[in-house]
């Protein structure tokens, strides 16, 4: 079942299904490797704030609002 990135449990991996945002958000996320089809790992969650994500070797912090627009399907290994 797809969930939003901010609700993903820390330490799990997911495959991005879609981005429910405007063109600007989609472009910015895409350039950091957060695009449909990509596998991402949630590595942290700061209180009241951003979510830390790893895409390959790239580590990115995503504000909570933006993270709630990233729809992922959790990958179970």
Partner 1 sequence: MKRILLVGNPNVGKSVIFTKLTGVNVCASNYPGTTVEFCRGSSIIGSEEVEIIDVPGAYSLEPTNKAEEVAIEMLSEGDVIINVVDATNLERNLFLTTQLLERDTPLVVALNIWDETKHRGIEIDVKRLSELLGVPVIPTNARSGFGLDHLVRALKHATTPMIEPLTVDERWQRIGKIISSVQRIRHHHHTFLEGLEDASIHPVSGYIVAALVIAVTFAIIRLIGESLIGYILDPFFEKAYMPLLLRVSDYLVGHPLLHDVLVGKLVEGTINFKESFGLLSTGLYVPIGMVLPYVVAFYFMLGLLEDIGYLPRLAVLLDGFMHRLGLHGYSIIPSLLGLGCNVPALLATRVLESRRERFIVATLISIAVPCAALQAMIVGLLAPFGMRYVALVYAVLFLVWLGLGLIIRLFTRGFIPALLIEIPPYRQPYLRSLLMKFRIRALGFLKEAVPVVIVGVGVVNVFYALGILDHIARFTSPIITKLLGLPREAVIAVVIGFLRKDIGVGMLAPLNMTLRQLVVGCATLAMFFPCIATFVVMFKELGPINTAKSIGIMVLTAFVVGGLLNALLWF
CA 42, CA 9: separation in Å to the nearest integer?
7
Taking CB under 8 A as the rule, does residue 31 contact partner 1?
Answer: yes
Which residue in this structure is represented by tokens 């990135």? 5
Shortest distance (Å) from residue 41 CB to partner 1: 13
Taking CB under 8 A as the rule, does residue 46 contact partner 1?
Answer: yes
Residue of 1, 2, 3, 4 whose CA lies nearest to 69:
4
Shortest distance (Å) from residue 5 CB to partner 1: 12
- Interface pick for partner 1 out of 12, 15, 17, 25 (rule CB under 8 A): 25
Instruction: Please name the residues in contact with 18: beta carbons below 8 A apart, sequence gap of 6 or more.
Output: 36, 71
Interaction site with partner 1 (CB under 8 A): 24-33, 35-38, 44-50, 52, 55-66
């Amino acid at each position: 079942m797809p969930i939003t990135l901010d609700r993903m449990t820390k330490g799990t991996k997911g495959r991005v299904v879609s981005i429910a945002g405007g063109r600007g958000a989609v472009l910015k996320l895409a350039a950091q490797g957060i695009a449909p089809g990509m596998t991402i790992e949630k590595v942290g969650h700061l209180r009241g704030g951003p979510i830390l994500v790893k895409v390959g070797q790239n580590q990115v912090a995503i504000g909570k609002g933006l993270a709630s627009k990233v729809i992922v399907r959790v990958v179970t290994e």
